[in-house]
């Protein structure tokens, strides 16, 4: 899919496309494929879900997630650099990494943030609190509950201790505001 999208972007640019191209990803990408599209993506928006292969296997059926994601994020950072914004604060180029804090997995979140701080303390990271147990969460009792305030605060405090000054912090009630209301006739109209 990435190569077909790359062809479309190249064709659109020859016809005057001038908006930044954003690559939204779960972080579980091929470094080789990313190298093939070097120069076409302006903003990378990946997740870093786990730095623990057991968690990657258990929750995402990706037993090597923790082995793959560091190389992916390094490649993305190498290609586009740190996030840059225009005079109005709109992103124009760079890397913005998201991390969803899971209940009961604070050590994993700490490892993810430590890795990001090691890439650069100036990296932009969205520390998301919007986890809400859905789909097959009931198969994993440890995450079949909302995130507790003290868990999220511990992760945010750790980010600040690491010097991650470009961290976007969500309010804990974001899970109530950002999730669609599927009991409504218009679930996406909040």
Grouping H, G, I as helix, E, B as strand and the rest as coil, residue 101 is: coil
Structure tokens at 155: 């992760």
Cβ-count burial 9-19 (b if 16+ within 10 Å, e if not)? beeeeeeeeee
Q: List all residues 6 or more positions away from 129 whose beta carbon is below 8 Å from its beta carbon.
A: 101, 147, 152, 170, 171, 172, 174, 175
What pLDDT is recorded for position 141? 84
CATH hierarchy code of domain 21-176 = 3.20.20.70
Structure tokens at 41: 């993506």
Q: What does the alpha-carbon distance between residue 8 and residue 140 come to, in Å, rounded to a whole number?
A: 40
pLDDT digit string (tens) for the chain, length 190 residues: 677 778 888 888 888 888 899 999 999 999 999 999 999 999 999 999 999 999 999 999 999 999 999 999 999 999 999 999 999 999 999 999 999 999 999 999 999 999 999 999 999 999 999 888 777 777 888 888 999 999 999 999 999 999 999 999 988 777 666 666 667 777 777 6
Tell me, yes or no, if the pTM score tops 0.95.
no
């Amino acid at each position: 899919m990435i190569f077909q999208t790359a062809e479309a972007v190249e064709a659109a640019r020859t016809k005057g496309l001038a908006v930044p191209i954003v690559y939204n990803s779960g972080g579980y990408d091929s470094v080789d494929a990313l190298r093939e599209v070097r120069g076409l993506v302006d903003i990378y928006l990946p997740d870093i879900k786990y730095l623990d292969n057991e968690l990657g296997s258990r929750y995402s059926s990706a037993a090597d997630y923790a082995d793959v994601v560091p190389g992916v994020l390094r490649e993305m950072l190498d290609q586009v650099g740190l996030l840059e914004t225009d005079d109005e604060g709109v992103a124009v180029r760079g890397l913005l990494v998201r991390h969803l804090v899971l209940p009961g997995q604070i050590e994993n979140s700490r490892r993810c943030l430590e890795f990001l701080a090691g890439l650069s303390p100036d990296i932009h990271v969205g520390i998301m609190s919007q986890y809400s147990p859905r789909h097959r969460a009931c198969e994993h009792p440890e995450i079949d509950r909302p995130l507790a305030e003290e868990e999220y605060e511990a992760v945010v405090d750790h980010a600040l201790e690491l010097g991650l000054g470009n961290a976007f912090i969500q309010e804990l009630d974001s899970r109530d505001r950002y999730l669609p209301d599927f009991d409504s006739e218009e679930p996406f109209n909040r």
